[in-house]
Structure 1
Amino acid sequence: MINLSPDLIEQAAQVAPDQTLATSFLAPQARPGMISLILFGHEVARARAVVSEPMLAAIRLQWWREALDEIYGSRPVRAQPIAQGLAATIHHHSLPRVWFDSFIDGFDVEQDPSPFATWDQLLDHADQTCGAFNRLALLIAGAPAISTPLDAVARQTGIMWRVWDLLAQWPRWTARRQLWLPTEAQSDLDVEAVFAGKPSPALALVLEQACQLVLAARRAANQACAQADFDQAFPAIAFAALAGPYARRFTRLGDPFRQVANLPLLERQLRLVWAVARQRV
Structure 2
Amino acid sequence: MSDHALQAAAEAVQKGDPERFAATMACAPAQRGPLWALYAANLEIARAPWASAEPMVAEMRLQWWVDAFDALAETGREPQHELGPALLPLRAQAPLISAIAEARRWDCWREPFEDEAALWAYLDQTSGNLIWAAASALGAAPGLEARARDFGAAAGLAALFSAVPQLEARGRLPLPDGRPETVARLAQEGLARIARARGGRDPALQAAFLPGYLAPSRLKRAAQDPSRVAEGQLDGSEFARRAALLRAVFWRI
Q: TM-score, normalised by structure 1?
A: 0.76
Residue type of the partner of 1:90? L
User: Of 110, 128, 131, which aligns to 2:128?
Assistant: 131
Does residue 80 in structure 1 map to residue 89 in structure 2?
A: no
Bigger mean CA offset, 68-77 vs 16-25: 68-77
Does residue 90 in structure 1 map to residue 90 in structure 2?
A: yes
Q: CA deviation at 1:210?
A: 2.8
- Asked if the contact 1:170/1:257 (under 8 Å) is kept, the reply is yes
Paired residue secondary structure (2:52):
coil
Q: Percent identity?
A: 24
- Structure 2: distance between partners of 1:73 and 1:232: 25
Does residue 26 in structure 1 map to residue 27 in structure 2?
A: yes
User: Of 218, 223, 229, which aligns to 1:246?
Assistant: 218
- Structure 2: distance between partners of 1:135 and 1:75: 20
- Structure 2: distance between partners of 1:121 and 1:69: 24
Match runs of 1:179-194 below 5 Å: 179-182=173-176, 185=177
Q: Deviations over 1:172-214 (max 9, x none)?
A: 43344331322xx3xxxxxxxxxxxxxxxxx5x43x6335423
- Structure 1: distance between partners of 2:115 and 2:56: 25
The CA RMSD over aligned residues, in Å, is 2.9
Pick closer, same or farther for the CA change 1:122–1:265 going to 2, 3 Å: same
Bigger mean CA offset, 152-161 vs 165-174: 165-174
Residue type of the partner of 2:90? I
Instruction: Return 5+ residue gaps in structure 1 as ranges.
Output: 186-202
Q: CA deviation at 1:47?
A: 1.8
Paired residue secondary structure (1:48):
helix
- Structure 1: distance between partners of 2:163 and 2:201: 34
Choose between structure 1 and 2 for higher RCO, CA contacts under 8 A separated by at least 6 residues. 1
User: Of 76, 82, 102, which aligns to 1:105?
Assistant: 102
Residue aligning to 2:40: 39
Pick closer, same or farther for the CA change 1:249–1:131 going to 2, 3 Å: same
Bigger mean CA offset, 209-218 vs 234-243: 209-218
Match runs of 1:228-267 below 5 Å: 228=200, 230-247=202-219, 254=227, 264-267=237-240
Residue aligning to 2:148: 154
Q: CA deviation at 1:41?
A: 0.9
Residue type of the partner of 1:97? A
Q: Deviations over 1:58-95 (max 9, x none)?
A: 011111012113323436534422233222x314xxx2
- Asked if the contact 1:9/1:35 (under 8 Å) is kept, the reply is yes
Q: CA deviation at 1:154?
A: 1.6
Q: Deviations over 1:94-125 (max 9, x none)?
A: x2433123211111112342242211221121
Pick closer, same or farther for the CA change 1:159–1:78 going to 2, 3 Å: closer
- Asked if the contact 2:24/2:32 (under 8 Å) is kept, the reply is yes
User: Of 128, 139, 142, which aligns to 2:139?
Assistant: 142
- Asked if the contact 1:241/1:275 (under 8 Å) is kept, the reply is yes
Residue type of the partner of 1:146? P
- Structure 2: distance between partners of 1:255 and 1:233: 30
Bigger mean CA offset, 123-132 vs 245-254: 245-254
- Asked if the contact 2:52/2:58 (under 8 Å) is kept, the reply is yes
- Determine which structure has more spread, i.e. the larger CA radius of gyration: 1
- Asked if the contact 2:73/2:95 (under 8 Å) is kept, the reply is no
